[in-house]
Structure formats: structure tokens, C-alpha cells
Amino acid sequence: MRARAPITGFMARHPRLSQLATIALFLLVWEITARFFVDKMFLSPPSRVYSEIDRVLNTKGLMQALTLTLYELSAAFVIAVAIGMAIGLSVGLNAFARRCFMPIILLLYGIPQIVILPLFILGLGIGPPSKIAFGVTHGIFPIILAIVAGVQNLKPVLLTSARSMGANRWHVLRYVVLPHMMPSFFSGLRLGMTGVLLGVLLAELYVSTAGIGYFTGLFTQNFDPTRLLGLISILAAMAIALNEFMRTVERRFSRWRGND
Amino acid sequence: MQKQDISVQIQNVSHSFGVEGHAKHVRALLDTTMDIHRGELLALIGPSGCGKSTLLNVIGGILSPTTGGASVNGKPVNGPMPHDIAYVFQENALFPWNTIIENIRLGMLFQGVPKADHEGRARAALKAVGLSEFADHYPGQLSGGMRQRAALARALSLDTPVVLMDEPFGALDEQTRMVLGEDLSELLSRTGKTIIFVTHSLGEAVFLADRIAVFTARPGRIKEVIPVDEPHPRKASFMTSDKFNGLRNRLFELLHDEIRKTVNLRSGSTGGF
Ligand SMILES: Nc1ncnc2c1ncn2[C@@H]1O[C@H](COP(=O)(O)OP(=O)(O)OP(=O)(O)O)[C@@H](O)[C@H]1O
Ligand SMILES: [Mg+2]
């Protein structure tokens, strides 16, 4: 074995530590930059953002706005998963439907949806429905694509053998198709979650009369970076928590992959 | 064994893949007719690509032939018959996301076996192929030969009168194959199942089969059917007998010509380049 510097050797054996160190370094750079180099009208150091987080939470109406956003996110996610799964399965399992509709789906996915956001507002108003809808249209495509791809590379002999043992349609779906696509289904769910988050927050920021969008606008106009960054940190923490939750579920369901 | 007691009947089965006249048109099987008796072990042997799997797929109801047809236990085959036929595929068809015992239970669930019987039958089948200790392993954790034995256990657990096996021991070495063949010969003679199996091993064909159907090169036809008059269960000593070697040599002669044809055909078609 080659000799390594003790510190790097130690770090190499503890990837978690390197991770934490990276984050700590980032926070440190941010802290120093904010304290000594940037006007505090534009940037607050993380220590201050953290110590004044309760000021964000105590802002009148903000908790309701966060709750509303969370509700919009969940609604959009559930709808995106339900419709995405239905479309993904029916398109993915049928060669004809795949040839017909996949190009259309890919085409739609390619459109930067922000350009049609005004249409959503026009059609559905400035309340939650337009935000949920915009979240759905962002989240649904990665889910459809992941399911179609997941269903694709199923070995035909597995289907044939299930049928030869007497499996009916439900058996095939439940015991062959679903377990096969579990891993890609979960990565689809995670990407879908990211999409939903993007869609809902974009709509929220665009319609800044209420909700999170209103408060980001308010904090920006008041040159209050502490509360702005605090709010952003809360949103980021929410996104990270959701993502980690999905990853945990995913790991549980794809145990067998590890030894294939 | 009575001649009338026919389990599987293959009548004038021909099959072509693709559209006639097209470049990809392949005549895989030509006018094959054969009766397989109840409790008989029939081996199919022939050059690669001659249509052996195609024939098994026709019997198994997975492929509907261009002309002719098969019937099993007096019923014409128009689709899978899970209560009559169990099929061990040439490819590994175990579900990778289930453990071995889950795979076996799942087969019984598909077939409609009452839940209460699953565990006992699954354990018995695993024991029969010597995989009891690997019940909770995933297919990916087993060797190729073990996977094939697991697939065989799944087929046996379904308790069908007919079992189709497409190169069930293809991934095993000749010696293991023979030892496993001994056990199989013993097991199968006890259960009285009708077995049709494809093999590329001359020794395995002679050792296990009651009759051996030798196929011609593509499009496959049955060139000759060789009976092996030797009661089951067969002992290892049969493998060293003159009778065994005589049959084996006979098979080799028959196959040698056909394989030569396949190879010449292939080199002929690429000769233009
Ligand atoms: N799905 C398919 N589509 C088109 N052609 C096929 C298909 N399956 C088989 N064939 C053709 O039919 C012929 C017979 O195939 P089959 O699988 O029955 O051969 P086999 O005797 O089982 O060969 P092997 O011993 O190599 O398994 C092959 O030459 C192949 O070209
Ligand atoms: Mg084959």
C-alpha cells in the first residue's frame, strides 16, 4: 500500500465526513463573503439567517402560505403520479401506442413550459388550481418517461413464462411488470417530485399576490435578505426532506438489484 | 406401456417466421408429426437453429404454428395450458426480484394452487433438485446451473402431467449433468411424468430418454427416432455400457451430417463477401 497523507486517508474512509466538510466550507465562504465583502442589504451571513429563522416563521401569513404551498405540492404530486402511471403503462406496454404517442410526449416535454404559464393563470385563475396544474404538467413527464423506459426492457421470456404458468393480466401487472419497473419507477417519482416542486414554485413566484411568491417579493423589495434566505432555506429543506424520503423508500424496494 | 396411451400429439406442424418472400423469412420447422406416450421421456436433438425450441413453443401454446397443431391429453393446444404443461425455458426465466422460494410459490399462485399447499410443495421441489439451502437466495446470487435447477424445481412444483424442458442443463458441465441426470432419471420415473426435453448433449439424450428424435438442419424435420430400451431409473453403470456407447455413436453419425450441412450453409451465404 502506498502511503497517503493521514488526513486524506482518514477522509477517504469516511465519505460522510468529506460531505459535511464540503458543506461546512460552503457555509464558511458564504459567511465570510456576507460579513466582509457584500453589502448587507443584498446578502446575509448564514449564522444570521439561522438565528433569525423564527422571524421568518413569525411573519404574518407566512405559515399559511407555506401550508398552502405544501398542499399544492402534494396535490400536484399525487395527480402527476396517478395520471403519469396510467399514461406510462398504457403507452409503455403497447407497441402501437408507443409509436403513436411517444413522439408527441417527447415533443411536449421539450417545450419550456414557462411560456405557457400565463395561459394556466388565464384559464384557472390565480388560486391553487393553476399552481397545482402547472406542477402536474412539470412532474408528469419524467414519470411517464421513467415508466415507459422501465416497462421497455422487461425480458420477454419473463412474460411468456408467467403466462405459461397461468398468470392472468392482473398477475402479470402485479408480479412481473410492477416489480420490474420499481427502480425506474422510483427514479421517475424523484424526478417527478423535482418537477412538481419547480412547477408549483414557478407559478407561486409568478403570481405574487399570495403564497410564497408574495413573501419572496415582499422580502426582496424590503431589502431583507435575512428573511428571504431564511424562506429559501425552509423551501430547500422541504425539497431535501422529500427527496431523501423517496430515496429511502426506493432503497427498500430495490434490494434485489444489488446482487443481480 | 400401451401404445394408445398418448399424452402429446404433434400433427404436421410447420412453422415459418416472418413474411414469405421477405429477406427475414425463415422456415423453422417442416411438417413434423410425432406421438409421445404418457410417462415417456423424449429427447429432441439437432443442429442449432433447426427449430427445437420452436416445436416446444408450439406444444406449450406459446406459438401458434403456420400449419398443423399439437394436442395435449386429448385437448388441442391453443394457448398456455398451465394445468397440463410446465415449461422450463432455454433462457433463465426466474424473476430476479424474487427469491428462489418466492419464485416457486409465485408459479403456484399463477397456476391456482391453494395457498396452504405452497410452502410444502415448494420445499419438496427444492429438495428434489438439491437447492434446499438456497431457498432464500435471489437468482442473481446463484450460479448458472443452480438457476436452471431452480427453474426446474418451479416447473416440478406445478405438478403437471407434461413437462417441457429446453436445454435444462445447458449451463452445467458434462459430469454434473450426468450426476444430476441420475437423480432426474430416478425422480422422473417415480412421478410418471411425460417429459419432452431439448439437449445438445449426446450422452444426456441417451442416458435420460426413452426415445430420441434427431432433427435435420433447418428447416427442421425429424430425421430419425431412436429408441433407448433401458428401464428407468438408470444407474451410472449404464453410461459405460456398450449399449450406451453404441447409441451415442449412432447419434453422433446422424447429427454429424446435419451439422456439417448447417455450417456449409452458413459459410456459403457469407462466401460472397
Ligand atoms: N422470434 C423469431 N423471429 C424470427 N425468427 C425466429 C424466431 N425464433 C426463431 N427463429 C428462427 O427459427 C429458427 C429455429 O429457431 P429455434 O429457436 O427453434 O432453434 P433451436 O433448434 O431451438 O436452436 P438452439 O439449439 O440454438 O436453441 C432459427 O434459425 C431462427 O432463425
Ligand atoms: Mg432452442
Sequential pLDDT tens for chain B (273 residues): 444 588 999 999 999 888 877 878 888 888 889 999 998 999 999 988 888 999 999 999 999 999 999 999 989 999 999 999 999 998 889 999 999 999 999 999 999 999 999 999 999 999 988 899 999 999 999 988 889 889 999 999 999 999 999 988 877 777 777 777 777 777 777 778 899 999 988 988 998 899 999 998 878 889 899 999 888 888 888 888 999 999 999 999 888 887 777 776 655 444 434
Q: What is the pLDDT of residue B268?
A: 47
Class in CATH terms, A66-210: mainly alpha
Nearest 10 degrees: CA dihedral of B122, B125, B126, B129?
-170
Query: Given the DSSP bridges, would you call strands B194-198 and B162-166 parallel, antiparallel or unpaired?
Result: parallel
Judged by CB atoms closer than 8 Å, whether chains meet at B80 and A166 is answered as yes
Q: State phi, psi for A64 to the nearest 5 degrees.
A: -60, -40
Contact residues, chain A to chain B, C-beta under 8 Å: 155, 157-158, 160-167, 171, 175-176, 179-180, 182, 256, 259-260
Domain residue extents for chain A:
66-210
Class in CATH terms, B6-84+160-269: alpha beta
Judged by CB atoms closer than 8 Å, whether chains meet at A165 and B93 is answered as no
Nearest 10 degrees: CA dihedral of B150, B153, B158, B163?
100
Contacts of B86 in chain A (CB under 8 A): 164-165
Which parts of chain A register pLDDT below 70?
A: 1-12, 208, 254-260
Q: What is the pLDDT of residue B84?
A: 94
For the stretch A26-52, pLDDT in tens is 989 988 888 888 887 788 888 888 888
Domain residue extents for chain B:
6-84+160-269
| Distance separating alpha carbons of residues A119 and A133, to the nearest angstrom | 11
CA angle B97, B101, B106 (to 5 degrees): 70
Among A155, A167, A180, beta carbon nearest to B110: A167
Contact B221, B32 (CB under 8 A): yes
Contact B239, B178 (CB under 8 A): yes
Q: What is the pLDDT of residue A2?
A: 53
Contacts of A161 in chain B (CB under 8 A): 87, 89, 93
| Distance separating alpha carbons of residues B249 and B154, to the nearest angstrom | 34
Q: Is residue B50 lining ligand 1, measured as CB closer than 6 Å?
A: yes
ipTM: 0.85
Closest atom of ligand 1 relative to the B200 alpha carbon: 25
Q: Is residue B32 lining ligand 1, measured as CB closer than 6 Å?
A: no
- Comparing CA positions, the residue from B32, B35, B59, B25 lying closest to residue B46 is B32
Q: How far is A178 from chain B (nearest CA, A)?
A: 11
Q: pTM for the whole thing?
A: 0.77
Closest atom of ligand 1 relative to the B52 alpha carbon: 21
DSSP B141-155: GS-HHHHHHHHHHHH
- Comparing CA positions, the residue from A161, A21, A160, A34 lying closest to residue B107 is A161
Contact B157, B106 (CB under 8 A): no
